[in-house]
Amino acid sequence: MFNLRKLLISQRSKPTLAVIGASAAAILSSGLANAGAWVPKQGEGYNKLAYAYYEADEFRGDNDNFSEFIGENTSFYGEYGLGNNFAVYGQLLYQSLEQTDANNVKQTNNGFGDAEIGIRYQWQADPFVLSTSFLAKLPYLYDEDDDLALGNGQEDYELRVLLGKSLNQYGYLGAEFGYRYRSGAPSDEYRYLLEYGFSVNNNLYLRTKLDGVLSAENADSNASDTNANLLVVPEFDSGKWELTAGWTFDSSSKNKWGLELTYTQDIYGKNTLEGDSIQLGLTRVF
């Protein structure tokens, strides 16, 4: 939703700054950082290069052999306006993982995770923004047979409906609802996201969101969870709360560089890790 942000940045007489919705979704999960309902104009776009650290020492599920999970990732997210209300977007992730069991035995792995690419179309702007998106997750950059694999190893395809509403000087609201079809043994998923953002001044903005996954409970009954990575179990529910503070260095320039600091916490779920993460990102709106 950086188009809205860009508009409000230019209105210096108003203390408003709609926060860019292109932000990293759940850290170290396979979910792509969605860009919100607003679609950039032709030739405009958004980039984010980020580093994240995630740590969990609890597992919400039946696993007595777990002690600790630590993950670090470096991610690049980009989106670009194609014109005619279309935009393409995608993310690439490099991960370093370490998982320790109850006997203090460690497993490690590092490399690229799932690549994700999508296309989004904005149907209307008033009285609220309405868009739809299609996303593909591609598991071609890692070995799914690794003991601590970097992903599930199957293609995912997701359809999503995105809603956005400007509250003018009070910021904006966003909501997203989707269904992710998973081509392999893992369960399909219902996806949902709620967010609110507002500006403090022309440079500082804040954003909070709830990012959730609800299993469709249709995993292959013959599927065996041979992957030790507890972030990519075949069937799970999760809810993550995110709080972001961002700073734009020069809101008057065409290329707007900034920094974002994001804290994410696993607040509920089933058959999933319970931890939190910190992410620092360099952003560019153009």
Grade residue 250 by pLDDT with cuts at 50, 70 and 90: confident
**Residue-level pLDDT at 211:** 98
- Tokens at 81, concatenated: 């306006």
DSSP conformation class of 168: G
pLDDT digits (tens, 9 = 90+) for 155-210: 999 999 999 999 999 999 999 999 999 998 899 999 999 999 999 999 999 999 99
Question: CA-CA distance, 286 to 284, in Å (whole number)?
Answer: 6
Per-residue pLDDT band for 224 (boundaries 50, 70, 90) equals low
In the chain, DSSP assigns E strands to: 45-60, 66-83, 86-101, 106-112, 115-124, 129-138, 156-166, 172-182, 189-199, 204-215, 237-248, 256-270, 272-285
Cα–Cα distance, 184 to 218 (Å, whole number) = 11
Closest CA to 149 of 82, 232, 220, 216: 232
Q: Which domain holds residue 230?
A: 2-285
How many domains, the chain?
Answer: 1
For residue 71, give the CATH number of its domain.
Answer: 2.40.160.40
